[in-house]
Amino acid sequence: MKHKILVIHGPNLNMLGKREPEKYGTSTLDEINTLLTTHGSRTGIDVQTFQSNHEGSIVEKIQQARDVYNALIINPAAYTHTSIAIRDAVLLLDIPVVEIHLSNIYKRESFRHKSMLCDVVTGQIAGFGMYGYLMALDAIVNILQ
């Protein structure tokens, strides 16, 4: 059986490459998604991606993941620091979940140092830019095997 992994990108990530490239790099979200799906194919993983600027849409996608996917990679972006709703949705899952951030949130403004998800996810990767997504995917593959 081929494993299915969902990757959720939160608000403003659709603007990657244009928004603060000194913090987030010059890669676009399409480039990151292509990198993920290509890497997934090489490792026998079906990677599906989803992006929304809306908290409720992200919550609904997480809820739908429960019976469809074997793992979740999520970059909640700004919702990292504020969303109890996303945290509660993640708590519904009984699959591995990796929280990912392009920048190191602990080297930024103090309000970004708190993650609402860090204690309910399998692991967290921050500060490696787009390659953090590949690290998360490799970690998930390792966990699933």
Strand partners, 73: 7, 98
Among residues 9, 69, 79, 101, the one annotated as catalytic is 101
pLDDT digits 0-9 by tens, 72-86: 999 999 999 899 999
- Provide the CATH number for the domain around residue 13: 3.40.50.9100
Is 24 catalytic? The answer is yes
pTM of the model: 0.92
pLDDT in tens, 80-137: 989 999 999 999 999 999 999 998 876 676 766 688 899 999 999 999 999 999 999 9
Six-digit token string for 36 = 């993920």
Backbone angles phi, psi at 47, to 5 degrees: -105, 125
Query: What number of other Cβ atoms are within 10 A of residue 94's Cβ?
Result: 7
Q: Return d(Cα 33, Cα 38) in angstroms, integer.
A: 8
- Catalytic residue, from 9, 24, 69, 133: name it: 24
Active site residue 101: yes
* Section 42-50 average pLDDT: 95
Tell me the residue range of the domain where 25 lies: 3-144
The number of folded domains in the chain is 1
